[in-house]
């Protein structure tokens, strides 16, 4: 469905019905690089300001520890990749009024979702990587949070942008649904007035199918976007892939463009499969 | 106002830049080759200009290269016209502060516009500027921000002598000669420029340079180059008014065909010098005490453009493309008495998949059985 | 130059809960100078601004000649309107307006006014109904035709019943699905036209509601020989600025915010029902 | 009561460390029976993902191993790939890389000192709670951390997974205006950075001397960041290529991270190891500030790690100022790269210690195999060793809470980055 989801009605009502004026928030970590939590930890002054607006009851990396506490708002980083995580995410959901998944790992499985495409499952890899594979408990897949529990708001990106997170948080504190902008990166790239690297250099830029949010960083550095924010709304991946082929990429290289950080996201998965078969 | 043609030797180009500064234009912008394209940047001196640089533009492709000689305007337009200077890609419209009692105070964002001279404006850019002025400054709600920014500009046009393969301004009647709307206009010859002024303030700037009159041979050469430029154009729109033809083809099967190629990425609308769609958004401070109300470029290719809560008026790409094309080439006639296309060809060159408006129109006009 | 994008502050002086999802806000300008110069027409709208959240176009339902607060009846559907639902007396908002063209008051004088609305009640026509009722002598018969999906969707049922009892006023209601407590018609709003006894010569028709409903009604009205020139309709499109700049509200060549939201049917005819416009 | 108390301490999730780990401790009769630092960060198989990818994709992939030190991963990988292709980056590129790396040291160390470690020494649960009582200290930390992030952003647009590096150099030279702004910020932060050295040295740190082996890079004249030989205070002095001959990794049941040993011994990498081995390479002002604290080096007290971090912050600020002062952009900001079959290895000093990579590539420049040894897995054996000794030295008569806190404090000295630790390597018994 291409229609933007602006309304998060039930969960928002639950959030707005919280008894205490200061919301209680938690930041949970699943399989991830910790980079998305840094949106908070790197926020500097804003982090201290936040601590005055809300009670941060659980945020292991920043210190507060109470993983099982009931909260109003839970931020979840990371994908679900072990049996323990599959259970823990249920507890997190049960304990929060509103759940926001942050980052590519949580919204699409992230980079580690590449394991989902391994023919012999993750087990095969465990054997290859570990001396004692029997010590490793891992699922065959790394999947987005929304494949396990109901998610009320998804913030994409690897990593999420701090501005994105704080704007969403501010809107939730106002009691309204955050704006989720799923426009293509090109829209922002042009606002920033970068010279298009696809047109001017023939680079296989993923911008035309990628969700905006980063501020068009890669084109700002004169390089092609590698889609760390995942698919935009209404992405015409097929037309872009054909264009990449026209730029001289082999089918296998075209396939890889869609098979990196958000490989598990349906729009990219389909395109990867298609070009994988051609190569 | 039509002034006498003067001649500015190439070596005096710096003097022109100085004269503009002396007349109070704190910022002098001009073409600079950067990141593989010719873009408007602040000029320190004439040596920043793209001397000997040539461009090659094709659908979905733009490349810079090097040519012969000293000329620094021997290229067609770059990725943006004047639009970003008058219609800002993102700006704060106003700020609002909320006091402890909940009272709201709305304030101006207080942005100051630097008096700016722009060298190298093309005929198509001027035509587009005039269209946008009509849009943003129309009664009863002229936009004061647009007005102030427009007011702060001094425009030095350069008549086109090197159109790209993507240009078709001759067919829309908007170029390659800059007819009006400039303060000064230049025609580049090998050893210098034929200069005419279009306004009093333009004349005041050149007066400082104490230039000789251009010789008849020089003006003749300049005219010949412009005429040749018109003849060189390989693309064209079939008519200056396609309104009825397009309105009659709203259900043409070709919309599906182009819908399959189009990325709906909005690049065409962003580079189009006449597109004006924008969206507004609030950006409150974390502590909630104040908020900025922003406006930023939007595009009829985005979902939010036609968002109506329970549905999108234009969900499918073909409908978004049709909205764009029929607005540009048809309903613009109803709104502003002319087409919204000035033939600059940017949407062709800067479309990542090279969709060509002239070719799409041609396909739409072809008779079908449907 | 006046800044058409900047709102002024208004205060909520009353709030009426119409249904669980519809509420009416009565707004007072905190600057008396602004209040003194504010003039609107039925069918026009304001851009209402919720602090830190955003602006939405909302029709004005209060009487234009009434000096009191400006009234808006709002349905909670999304970000902004749901946020506004939480406003209480004393809270502040931003307001810009009035914008757009309202109903053709002059053309309606001395004629029978037929109001056709559908869906969950339609604010723009409420302002017109009230306008007529306040100035009863200037208009002929008032006929209100309202269609709803479910019987529960009819808000202001009591209001309709009150209007029904007024002289020279006819109220006809239809629901797609009837029920035990539904004494009115069952079916689409179009089933009401035959019963309404519309005089095609004397009537001016004002429509507001979902576009398919309006399209079907217009077809029916034309079949009853109502001339196209007697038809007016109010439509909605996404609006960011309300002053003809942002481009979102275009329907074909028309900017709904400036050329509408009330359109003369012949003007809008080529675009009505065309997917994508 | 010490004698027969059976102590069972479980810290199910360690707070204030990056990633997720836990500590299990079973002791009885005044002796520790079992002590396990469990790292259960889920496996993420990076070395497998890298296989078959183009060399141009490697930097974007390895960055995602760790959100705290993505630059270290990119720096190490770029070094290995350049070695494999025989590319010599220009001195300009190398200077800028050093500058960018300063940013990461700054942000990582500032974060660790102020938000993660300081609460231990000042008696708070966490940095956020501490901010109310020590707003100045916390704000100073946040300022330094932001400055580090700003430095990284100059080169990559964002501090987590920056996008500006490429094999051969940078995609684009930093914007001079932005660089000038960062330089001004750095200058005004110099005082903070210098004061921090004295401040950390003035903390009441536990006295706990132990015997351990320090390992770090060592360069002829620079404080080590991304070049040099691998040295130890036990006399080791080898080129980085020699790493697999002397260092071994093994896998244990309770951890998804691997344990590394040098000649069968646990060893330390990280700020204290670097400082122990390289304090003579600090710049003069950094050496002076350090001397003023009276700290004697080499130090045998792991709690001095916090001081070492402050010294490195000071050094990073000084170094960044020096490098930015004569900054001028260059176009292009990279040397062209001709990919080809081969292999290369890289070693750099990540904030948490030495990071070692090795890649084998095919003739198109696609990765055939990747081998990554992060600092935290190198430290893991050392941490367990330390815990055992420190807790026994601290005294097992302390109550559970005190033991738990001391245990956590000891672990936090190493600033373990658990996400990093779990990108395990292929354990190849013999490689050469
Ligand atoms: C001229 C006019 C008069 C209106 N009068 C009323 C009225 O009196 N009472 C009432 O309840 N509603 C009225 N509406 C509809 C009302 O504007 C929308 O319901 C409202 O904008 C939804 O905003 P939201 O943020 O709550 O919803 P969301 O679904 O979150 O929408 C997000 C944004 O999209 C835009 N948008 C969404 N739906 C519409 C829409 N239907 N029309 C225009 N923009 C939209 C707005 O900018 C909105 O902020 C009117 C609309 C128009 C155009
Ligand atoms: S989405 Fe990216 S930055 Fe965020 S946790 Fe996952 S890998 Fe790290
Ligand atoms: S550089 Fe990429 S994101 Fe920017 S306009 Fe071009 S294709 Fe789009
Ligand atoms: S441009 Fe693309 S890859 Fe680069 S940061 Fe933005 S979304 Fe990520």
Are C109 and C93 in a shared domain? no
Residue that is last in its domain, among B166, B201, B231: B231
Q: Give the closest of A170, A176, A179 to C82, CB-based.
A: A176
Pocket of ligand 4 (CB under 6 A): A 185, 210, 214, 216-218, 225-229; D 163
A180 belongs to a structural domain: no
Are C145 and C212 in a shared domain? yes
Between B221-230, C173-182, D50-59, D239-248, the lowest mean confidence (pLDDT) is in C173-182
DSSP string for residues in A36-97: TTHHHHTTTHHHHHHHHHSEEEEETTTS---TT--EEEEEEESBB-SHHHHHHHHHHHHTEE
Are C208 and C263 in a shared domain? yes
Residue with the smallest CA separation from ligand 2 atom 3 is: A159
Are D188 and D328 in a shared domain? yes
D34 belongs to a structural domain: yes
Q: With beta carbons less than 8 A apart as the criterion, state whether D380 and D421 touch.
A: yes
Residue B256 predicted with pLDDT over 70: yes
| Separation between Cα atoms, residue A227 and residue A111, nearest integer Å | 11
Are D147 and D31 in a shared domain? no
The domain in which residue A192 lies consists of: 185-278
Are B199 and B326 in a shared domain? no
A119 belongs to a structural domain: yes
Are B47 and B193 in a shared domain? yes
Ligand 4 centroid–CA A224 distance in Å is 8
Please list every residue in chain D whose beta carbon sits closer than 8 Å to the beta carbon of residue A118. 48
A3 belongs to a structural domain: no
Of the segments B236-240, C20-24, C61-65, D170-174, which one has the largest average pLDDT value? D170-174
H or E element that contains B260: helix B254-261
Q: Into how many domains does chain A fold?
A: 2
CA distances from D43 to B196, D61, D416 (A): 71, 15, 16
Q: Into how many domains does chain C fold?
A: 2
Between A42-56, C206-220, D23-37, the lowest mean confidence (pLDDT) is in D23-37
| Separation between Cα atoms, residue A205 and residue B45, nearest integer Å | 34
Q: Beta-strand (E) ranges in chain C?
A: 8-19, 22-29, 45-50, 54-59, 70-75, 92-99, 112-118, 142-150, 169-177, 185-186, 203-208, 231-234, 250-251, 254-255, 262-264
CA distances from A278 to A205, A226, A270 (A): 21, 21, 13
B334 touches chain C (CB under 8 A): yes
Residue C224 predicted with pLDDT over 70: yes
B237 belongs to a structural domain: no
Q: What is the pLDDT of residue A130?
A: 55
We report the CATH number of the domain holding residue A116 as 3.40.50.700
Residue C191 predicted with pLDDT over 60: yes
Tokens of D277: 């081995």
**How buried is C253 (Cβ within 10 angstroms: 0-12 exposed, 13-18 middle, 19+ buried)?**
buried
DSSP string for residues in B270-324: HH-SS---EEEEEEE-TTSSEEEEEEEE--TTSSGGGB-SS-BTT-SHHHHHHHH
Are C37 and C19 in a shared domain? yes
Chain-centre distance for alpha carbon B6: 27
B274 belongs to a structural domain: yes
Pairing state between β D258-262 and C22-29: unpaired
Residue B238 predicted with pLDDT over 70: yes
Are B285 and B209 in a shared domain? no
We report the CATH number of the domain holding residue C246 as 3.40.50.80
**How buried is A276 (Cβ within 10 angstroms: 0-12 exposed, 13-18 middle, 19+ buried)?**
middle
C113 belongs to a structural domain: yes
- How wide is the angle at C-alpha B268 spanned by C-alphas B264 and B274, nearest 5°? 130
Interface of A with B in 38-57 (CB under 8 A): 46, 49-50, 52-53
A57 belongs to a structural domain: yes
Distance from CA of C84 to the nearest CA of A (A): 9
D279 belongs to a structural domain: no
Are C123 and C45 in a shared domain? no
Give me the phi and psi of B308, to 5 degrees please: -130, 40
| Separation between Cα atoms, residue A272 and residue A50, nearest integer Å | 41
Residue C121 predicted with pLDDT over 70: no
We report the CATH number of the domain holding residue C85 as 2.40.30.10
Percent of chain C, pLDDT > 70?
Answer: 99
CA neighbor of A80 nearest in space, from A131, A29, A40: A29
Residue that is last in its domain, among A121, A145, A174: A174
The domain in which residue C168 lies consists of: 105-268
Bridge partners, B283 (sequence order):
B292
Are D319 and D410 in a shared domain? no
Tokens of C213: 């409903």
Each residue's pLDDT, cut to its tens digit, for chain D (432 residues) gives 344 566 666 655 555 555 566 777 777 777 788 777 776 666 678 888 899 999 999 999 999 999 999 999 999 999 999 999 999 999 999 999 999 999 999 999 999 999 888 988 898 888 888 888 998 888 999 999 999 999 999 999 999 999 999 999 999 999 999 999 999 999 999 999 999 999 999 999 988 889 999 999 999 999 999 899 999 999 999 999 999 999 987 766 666 667 788 888 899 999 999 999 999 999 999 999 999 999 999 999 999 999 999 999 999 999 999 999 989 999 899 999 999 999 999 999 999 999 999 999 999 999 999 999 888 888 888 988 898 888 888 888 888 778 878 888 888 888 877 655 543 322 222 222
CA distances from A142 to A32, A85, A118, A160, A262 (A): 10, 10, 12, 19, 11
B248 touches chain C (CB under 8 A): no
Task: Collect all residues with Cβ–Cβ distance below 8 Å to C261 and sequence separation of at least 6.
Answer: C43, C45, C57, C59, C100, C101, C124, C234, C235, C236
Are B110 and B203 in a shared domain? yes
CA distances from D239 to D58, D67, D72, D236 (A): 24, 29, 19, 10
| Separation between Cα atoms, residue B80 and residue B271, nearest integer Å | 6
Residue D77: half-sphere exposure toward Cβ, Cα within 13 Å: 31
Distance from CA of A266 to the nearest CA of B (A): 17
Are D199 and D114 in a shared domain? yes
Residue that is last in its domain, among C77, C99, C121: C99
Are D13 and D98 in a shared domain? no
Pairing state between β B61-66 and B90-98: unpaired
**How buried is D191 (Cβ within 10 angstroms: 0-12 exposed, 13-18 middle, 19+ buried)?**
exposed
Q: What is the pLDDT of residue C1?
A: 74
Mean pLDDT in residue range B115-134: 97
Chain-centre distance for alpha carbon B287: 40
Give me the phi and psi of D381, to 5 degrees please: -65, -40
Are B309 and B338 in a shared domain? yes
C159 belongs to a structural domain: yes
Interface probe with B: pick from C53, C76, C248, most Cβ of B within 10 Å? C248
Are D81 and D129 in a shared domain? yes
CB neighbours (10 Å) of residue B68?
9
CB neighbours (10 Å) of residue B2?
8
Q: What is the pLDDT of residue D363?
A: 95
D164 belongs to a structural domain: yes
Residue B2 predicted with pLDDT over 90: no
Are B199 and B250 in a shared domain? no
Between A238-247, B309-318, C187-196, D153-162, the lowest mean confidence (pLDDT) is in C187-196
Pairing state between β B104-108 and B90-98: antiparallel
Whether residue B311 has its Cβ less than 6 Å from ligand 1: no
A259 belongs to a structural domain: yes
CA neighbor of A38 nearest in space, from A165, A221, A207, A194: A165
Residue A135 predicted with pLDDT over 60: no
Percent of chain B, pLDDT > 90?
Answer: 93
Q: Give the closest of A31, A122, A220 to D157, CB-based.
A: A220
Q: With beta carbons less than 8 A apart as the criterion, state whether A138 and A122 touch.
A: yes
Please list every residue in chain C whose beta carbon sits closer than 8 Å to the beta carbon of residue B135. 245
Residue D362: half-sphere exposure toward Cβ, Cα within 13 Å: 10
Residue with tokens 């119409």, as numbered in its chain: C18
A2 belongs to a structural domain: no
Give me the phi and psi of D105, to 5 degrees please: -55, -45
Tokens of D126: 């966490």
Are C179 and C264 in a shared domain? yes
Mutation probe of ligand 2 site: the residue of A105, A154, A157, A260 with most atoms within 8 A of C-beta: A105
Residue A123 predicted with pLDDT over 80: no
CA neighbor of B322 nearest in space, from B232, B244, B238, B262: B262
Are D322 and D419 in a shared domain? no
Are A151 and A105 in a shared domain? yes
Q: What is the pLDDT of residue D187?
A: 97
Are C226 and C186 in a shared domain? yes
Between B323-337, C107-121, C151-165, the lowest mean confidence (pLDDT) is in C151-165
| Separation between Cα atoms, residue A183 and residue A169, nearest integer Å | 20
Residue that is last in its domain, among C81, C99, C117: C99
The domain in which residue D12 lies consists of: 5-43+396-431
Q: Into how many domains does chain B fold?
A: 2
Instruction: Kindly report, residue by residue over A88-117, the tens digit of the pLDDT.
Output: 999 999 999 999 999 999 999 999 999 888
Are A161 and A189 in a shared domain? no
B161 belongs to a structural domain: yes
Residue that is last in its domain, among A174, A208, A227: A174
Task: Collect all residues with Cβ–Cβ distance below 8 Å to B313 and sequence separation of at least 6.
Answer: B306, B319, C237, C238, C276, C277
Name the pTM for this structure.
0.94
| Separation between Cα atoms, residue C146 and residue B53, nearest integer Å | 68
A60 belongs to a structural domain: yes
Bridge partners, C48 (sequence order):
C56, C95
Are B84 and B178 in a shared domain? yes
**How buried is A275 (Cβ within 10 angstroms: 0-12 exposed, 13-18 middle, 19+ buried)?**
buried
Give first-to-last CA distance, chain B, whole Å: 52
Taking CB atoms and an 8 Å limit, are C79 and A7 in contact across chains? yes
Are D68 and D158 in a shared domain? yes
A179 belongs to a structural domain: no
Ligand 3 atom nearest the C-alpha of A210 is: 3
Residue B368 predicted with pLDDT over 70: no
Alpha helices in D157-202 (DSSP H): 176-201
B370 belongs to a structural domain: no
Are D76 and D168 in a shared domain? yes
Residue with tokens 């010599």, as numbered in its chain: D88
D363 belongs to a structural domain: yes
Q: Give the closest of A181, A186, A239 to B266, CB-based.
A: A186
Are D53 and D98 in a shared domain? yes
| Separation between Cα atoms, residue D259 and residue A242, nearest integer Å | 47
Ligand with minimal distance to A218 CA? 4
Are D419 and D364 in a shared domain? no
Q: What is the pLDDT of residue C67?
A: 84
Residue A58 predicted with pLDDT over 90: yes
CA neighbor of C12 nearest in space, from C93, C106, C131, C109: C93
Please list every residue in chain A whose beta carbon sits closer than 8 Å to the beta carbon of residue B298. 187
Ligand with minimal distance to C155 CA? 1
D239 belongs to a structural domain: no
Mean pLDDT in residue range B126-140: 96
Task: Collect all residues with Cβ–Cβ distance below 8 Å to D289 and sequence separation of at least 6.
Answer: D194, D197, D198, D311, D314
We report the CATH number of the domain holding residue D78 as 1.10.645.10
Residue with tokens 């979702």, as numbered in its chain: A113
A48 touches chain D (CB under 8 A): yes
Ligand with minimal distance to C235 CA? 1
Q: With beta carbons less than 8 A apart as the criterion, state whether B59 and B356 touch.
A: yes
Q: What is the pLDDT of residue A5?
A: 44
CB neighbours (10 Å) of residue C31?
11
Q: With beta carbons less than 8 A apart as the criterion, state whether C179 and C192 touch.
A: no
The domain in which residue B347 lies consists of: 243-365
Q: Give the closest of C52, C238, C275 to B308, CB-based.
A: C238
Residue that is last in its domain, among C99, C125, C142: C99
Residue with tokens 């270290």, as numbered in its chain: D72
Q: What is the pLDDT of residue D425?
A: 26
Instruction: Kindly report, residue by residue over A149-205, the tens digit of the pLDDT.
Output: 999 999 999 999 999 999 999 999 999 999 988 999 999 999 999 999 999 999 999
Mean pLDDT in residue range A75-85: 94
User: Is the four-CA dihedral D189, D190, D196, D199 of positive or negative sign?
Assistant: negative
Distance from CA of A85 to the nearest CA of C (A): 33
Are C123 and C73 in a shared domain? no
Q: Into how many domains does chain D fold?
A: 2
Alpha helices in A98-174 (DSSP H): 103-108, 121-129, 162-174
């Amino acid at each position: 469905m291409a229609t933007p989801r602006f309304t998060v009605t039930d969960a928002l009502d639950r959030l707005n019905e919280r008894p205490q004026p200061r919301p209680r928030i938690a930041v949970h970590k699943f399989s991830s690089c910790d980079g998305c939590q840094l949106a908070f930890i790197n926020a500097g002054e804003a982090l201290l300001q936040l601590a005055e607006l809300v009670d941060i009851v659980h945020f292991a990396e920043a210190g507060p520890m109470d993983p099982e506490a009931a909260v109003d708002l839970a931020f979840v980083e990371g994908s679900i990749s072990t049996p323990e995580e599959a259970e823990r995410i249920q507890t997190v959901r049960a304990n929060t009024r509103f759940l926001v998944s942050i980052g590519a790992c949580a919204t699409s499985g992230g980079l580690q979702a590449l394991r989902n495409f391994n023919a012999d499952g993750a087990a095969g890899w465990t054997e290859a990587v570990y001396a004692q594979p029997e010590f490793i408990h891992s699922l065959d897949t790394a999947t987005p949070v929304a494949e396990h529990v109901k998610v009320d708001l998804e913030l994409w990106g690897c990593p999420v942008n701090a501005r994105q997170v704080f704007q969403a948080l501010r809107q939730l504190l106002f009691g309204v649904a955050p704006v989720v902008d799923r426009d293509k990166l090109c829209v922002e790239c042009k606002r920033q007035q970068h010279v298009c690297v696809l047109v001017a250099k023939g680079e296989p830029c993923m911008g035309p199918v990628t969700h905006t949010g980063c501020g068009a960083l890669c084109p700002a550095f004169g390089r092609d976007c590698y889609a760390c924010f995942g698919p935009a709304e209404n992405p015409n991946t097929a037309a872009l892939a054909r264009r990449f082929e026209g730029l001289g990429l082999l089918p296998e290289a075209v396939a890889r463009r869609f098979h990196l950080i958000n490989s598990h996201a349906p729009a990219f998965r389909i395109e990867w499969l298609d070009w994988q078969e051609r190569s | 106002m039509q002034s006498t043609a003067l001649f500015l030797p190439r070596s005096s180009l710096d003097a022109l830049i100085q004269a503009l500064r002396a007349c109070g234009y704190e910022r002098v912008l001009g073409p600079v080759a950067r990141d593989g394209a010719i873009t408007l940047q602040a000029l320190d001196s004439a040596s920043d200009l793209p001397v000997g640089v040539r461009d090659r533009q094709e659908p979905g492709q733009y490349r810079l290269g090097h040519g012969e000689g000293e000329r620094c305007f021997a290229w067609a337009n770059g990725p943006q016209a004047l639009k970003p200077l008058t219609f800002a890609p993102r700006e704060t419209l106003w700020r609002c502060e909320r006091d402890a009692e909940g009272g709201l105070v709305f304030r101006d964002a207080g942005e100051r516009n630097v008096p700016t001279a722009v060298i190298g404006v093309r005929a198509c850019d001027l035509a587009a500027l005039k269209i946008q002025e009509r849009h943003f400054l129309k009664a009863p709600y002229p936009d004061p921000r647009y007005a102030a920014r427009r007011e702060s500009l001094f425009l030095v046009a350069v008549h086109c002598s090197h159109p790209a393969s993507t240009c078709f301004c001759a067919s829309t009647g908007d170029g390659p000669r800059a007819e009006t709307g400039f303060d000064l206009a230049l025609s580049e010859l090998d050893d210098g420029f034929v200069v005419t002024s279009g306004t009093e303030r333009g004349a005041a700037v050149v007066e400082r340079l104490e230039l000789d009159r251009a010789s008849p041979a020089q003006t003749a050469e300049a005219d010949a180059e412009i005429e040749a430029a018109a003849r060189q154009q390989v693309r064209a729109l079939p008519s200056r008014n396609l309104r009825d033809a397009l309105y009659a083809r709203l259900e043409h099967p070709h919309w599906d065909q182009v819908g399959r190629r189009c990325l709906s990425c909005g690049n065409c609308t962003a580079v189009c010098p006449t597109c004006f769609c924008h969206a507004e958004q609030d950006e409150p401070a974390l502590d909630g005490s104040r908020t900025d109300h922003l406006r930023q470029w939007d595009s009829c290719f985005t979902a939010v453009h036609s968002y109506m809560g329970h549905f999108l008026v234009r969900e499918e790409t073909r409908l978004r493309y049709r909205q764009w094309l029929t607005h540009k080439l048809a309903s613009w006639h109803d709104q502003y008495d002319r087409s919204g296309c000035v033939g600059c060809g940017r949407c062709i060159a800067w479309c990542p998949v090279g969709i060509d408006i002239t070719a799409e129109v041609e396909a739409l006009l072809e008779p079908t059985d449907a | 130059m006046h800044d058409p994008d900047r709102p002024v502050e208004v205060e909520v002086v009353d709030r009426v809960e119409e249904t669980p999802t519809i509420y009416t806000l009565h707004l007072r300008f905190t600057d008396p100078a602004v209040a003194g110069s504010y003039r609107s027409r039925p069918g026009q709208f304001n851009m209402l601004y919720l602090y830190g959240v955003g602006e939405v176009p909302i029709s004005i339902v209060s009487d234009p000649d009434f000096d009191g607060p400006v009234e808006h009846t709002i349905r909670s559907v999304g970000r902004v309107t749901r946020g506004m639902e939480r406003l209480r007396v004393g809270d502040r908002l931003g307001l810009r307006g009035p914008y757009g063209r309202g109903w053709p008051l002059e053309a309606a004088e001395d004629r029978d006014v037929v109001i056709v609305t559908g869906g969950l009640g339609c604010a723009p026509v409420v302002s017109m109904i009230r306008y007529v009722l306040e100035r009863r002598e200037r208009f002929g018969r008032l006929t209100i035709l309202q269609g709803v999906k479910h019987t529960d969707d009819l808000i202001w049922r009591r209001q309709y019943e009150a209007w029904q009892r007024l002289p020279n006023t006819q109220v006809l209601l239809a629901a797609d699905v009837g029920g035990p407590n539904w004494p009115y018609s069952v079916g689409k709003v179009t089933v009401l036209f035959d019963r309404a006894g519309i005089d095609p010569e004397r009537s001016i028709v004002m429509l507001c509601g979902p576009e398919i409903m309006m399209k079907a009604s217009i077809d029916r009205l034309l079949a009853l020989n109502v001339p196209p020139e007697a038809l007016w309709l109010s439509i909605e499109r996404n609006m960011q600025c309300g002053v003809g700049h942002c481009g979102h509200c275009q329907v074909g060549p028309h900017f709904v915010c400036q050329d509408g939201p009330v359109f003369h049917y012949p003007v809008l005819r080529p675009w009505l029902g065309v997917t994508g416009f | 009561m010490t004698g027969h108390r059976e102590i069972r301490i479980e810290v199910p999730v360690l707070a204030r460390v990056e990633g997720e780990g836990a500590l299990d401790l079973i002791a009885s009769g005044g002796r520790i029976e079992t002590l396990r630092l469990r790292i259960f960060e889920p496996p993420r198989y990076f070395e497998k993902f890298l296989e078959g990818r183009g060399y141009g994709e490697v930097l974007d992939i390895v960055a995602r191993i760790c959100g705290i030190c993505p630059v270290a991963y990119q720096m190490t990988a770029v070094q290995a790939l350049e070695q494999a292709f025989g590319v010599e980056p220009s001195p300009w590129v190398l200077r800028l890389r050093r500058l960018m790396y300063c940013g990461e040291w700054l942000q990582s160390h500032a974060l660790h000192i102020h938000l993660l470690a300081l609460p231990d020494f000042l008696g708070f649960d966490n940095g956020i709670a501490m901010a109310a009582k020590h707003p100045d200290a916390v704000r100073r930390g946040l300022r330094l951390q932001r400055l580090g992030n700003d430095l990284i952003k100059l080169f990559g647009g964002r501090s987590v997974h920056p996008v500006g590096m490429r094999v051969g150099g940078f995609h684009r030279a930093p914007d001079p205006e932005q660089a000038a702004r960062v330089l001004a910020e750095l200058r005004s932060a110099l005082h903070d950075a210098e004061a921090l050295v004295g401040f950390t040295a003035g903390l009441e740190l536990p006295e706990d001397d132990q015997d351990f082996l320090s390992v770090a890079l060592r360069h002829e004249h620079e404080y080590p960041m991304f070049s040099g030989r691998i040295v130890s205070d036990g006399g080791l002095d080898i080129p980085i290529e020699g790493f697999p001959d002397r260092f071994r990794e093994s896998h244990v049941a309770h951890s998804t991270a691997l344990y590394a040993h040098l000649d069968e011994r646990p060893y330390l990498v990280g700020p204290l190891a670097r400082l122990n081995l390289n304090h003579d390479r600090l710049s003069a002002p950094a050496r002076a500030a350090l001397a003023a604290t009276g700290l004697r080096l080499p130090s045998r007290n792991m709690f001095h790690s916090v001081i070492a971090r402050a010294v490195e912050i000071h050094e990073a600020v000084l170094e960044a100022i020096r490098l930015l002062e004569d900054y001028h952009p260059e176009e292009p900001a990279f040397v062209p790269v001709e990919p080809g079959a081969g292999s290369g290895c890289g070693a750099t000093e990540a904030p948490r210690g030495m990071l070692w990579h090795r890649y084998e590539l095919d003739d198109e420049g696609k990765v055939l195999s990747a081998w990554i040894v992060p600092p935290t897995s190198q430290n893991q054996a050392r941490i367990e060793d330390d815990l055992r000794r420190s807790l026994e030295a601290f005294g097992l008569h302390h109550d559970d809470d005190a033991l738990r806190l001391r245990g956590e404090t000891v672990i936090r000295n190493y600033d373990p980055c658990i996400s990093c630790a779990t990108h395990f390597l292929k354990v190849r018994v013999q490689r050469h």
